Amino acid sequence: MPAAKKSKPEIVKVKLGKRSYDIVIGENLLADAGKRIAKLRPGTAVAIVTDGNVAHHHLATLERSLDAAKISYRSVLLSAGEGTKNYSSLETVAEAIIQSRIERGDLVIALGGGVIGDLAGFAASVVRRGVDFVQIPTTLLAQVDSSVGGKTGINSPQGKNLIGAFHQPALVLADLSTLDTLPAREFRAGYAEVAKYGLINDAKFFDWLEKNWRSVFAGGAARAKAVATSCKAKAAIVGRDERESGERALLNLGHTFGHALEAATGYSDRLLHGEGVALGMVLAFKLSAKLKFCKSLDATRVVRHLENAGLPVRLSQIPGSLPGPDGLLSLMAQDKKVVRGKLVFILAKGIGKAFIAKNVDTNIVREVLKDALAE
């Protein structure tokens, strides 16, 4: 019997002039990564940044691929988890890249989820005043969101992603087969970012997700479609607004609330980033409904879908205690979207109708948080 024909990867272009790059989406891309990298940058050397969990599953495959392409490399292993995205790890990665004798014409490879991508990308942006890097995202959240668009950075004790830089990757390889090794909770957390694209500006995609989310979780063609649709949506927005001076802010739907919740839980396993985004989107739609921007039925629909997918939709689902409304508002005040001391929210006029809202009454936000904490 002849071997099954390998399906052709889908390529999404992020159009940024001379800094344009491809997002390659498909199965088993890791095994061919060396060939693609050698074609992208002939004669390059690379520094691989990854964490222990990802290394266990995928590092050997990548290293074999680089060996086959005759690319020299050094691997830097970090601890897994959001707590790694800090000053100390930045120093570790930057020094390891320098010790690897990576030159400005060489590459850094970020092999892992959003934490590794953000950290490795930020280190690449500052070492030797800028080294190119390749994103190989191994989580759903990273494949559809954090690996695309050039946002890199680390967390401050005062807030999430407050230290960073825009540094676009030279290539993104979204290997769908790596998602098969994800814990179920991590996959669900990433799904929140998939649903986000429907809620921002694609009501038909959200309709499709409501009917097909189980197939997305199961893998195959539905998963590939969900990842590709999400990447196309983000690529289009980034191409029009690279540095978030306008439209790109819509991608932060749920993040103002979510980042405050992550800070309140100490960037720990109590609340994964995607879970914070899910809760944040619920709160954003509840705030939108309270302000009469959308119907309460829209907020109910968001809650129902995220809950069906296994994501938290009530603050009481976060283990441990949380600050009160004023405590959460104080954490939100450190958000990067604050403009002249006033919070900027991404709200919605309905499913697929997100917009940027300035000068939202803090008292109404406090009421929404108070109600949510009481549920």
**Domain edges within the chain:** 10-181, 184-374
Q: Which of 129, 211, 292, 340 is catalytic?
A: 129
Q: What is the mean pLDDT of residues 177-196?
A: 97
**Is 101 marked active-site?**
no
**Is 57 marked active-site?**
no
Rounded Cα gap, residues 284 and 154, in angstroms: 25
Rounded Cα gap, residues 29 and 173, in angstroms: 7
Q: pLDDT band at residue 340, thresholds of 50, 70 and 90?
A: low
Element (H, E) at 54: helix 52-54
Model pLDDT, residue 365: 96
**Is 58 marked active-site?**
no
Model pLDDT, residue 142: 98
- CA 368 vs. chain centroid, Å, equals 26
Model pLDDT, residue 4: 45
* One CATH from 3.40.190.10, 1.10.274.100, 2.60.120.260, 1.20.1090.10 for 184-374: 1.20.1090.10
**Is 151 marked active-site?**
yes
Q: Which of 151, 196, 223, 337 is catalytic?
A: 151
Give the range among 183-197, 247-261, 336-350 with minimum mean pLDDT: 336-350
Mean pLDDT of all residues belonging to the chain: 95
The pLDDT > 70 percentage for the chain reads 97
**Is 305 marked active-site?**
no
Q: Which of 232, 259, 305, 337 is catalytic?
A: 259
How is domain 10-181 classified at the CATH fold level?
Rossmann fold (3.40.50)
**Phi, psi angle pair for 307, to nearest 5°:** -65, -40
111 contact partners, CB below 8 Å, separation of at least 6: 48, 49, 50, 54, 55, 58, 59, 62, 136, 138
Please check the confidence at residue 3 and state whether its pLDDT lies above 80. Answer: no
**Phi, psi angle pair for 246, to nearest 5°:** -160, -100
Nearest to 254 by CA among 183, 173, 309, 197: 197
Please check the confidence at residue 2 and state whether its pLDDT lies above 60. Answer: no
**Is 375 marked active-site?**
no
Q: pLDDT band at residue 32, thresholds of 50, 70 and 90?
A: very high
**184-374 matches 10-181 in CATH topology:** no
Please check the confidence at residue 54 and state whether its pLDDT lies above 80. Answer: yes
Model pLDDT, residue 60: 98
Please check the confidence at residue 339 and state whether its pLDDT lies above 70. Answer: no
Model pLDDT, residue 6: 62
**Is 275 marked active-site?**
no
Model pLDDT, residue 1: 43
Rounded Cα gap, residues 279 and 315, in angstroms: 7
Rounded Cα gap, residues 325 and 319, in angstroms: 17
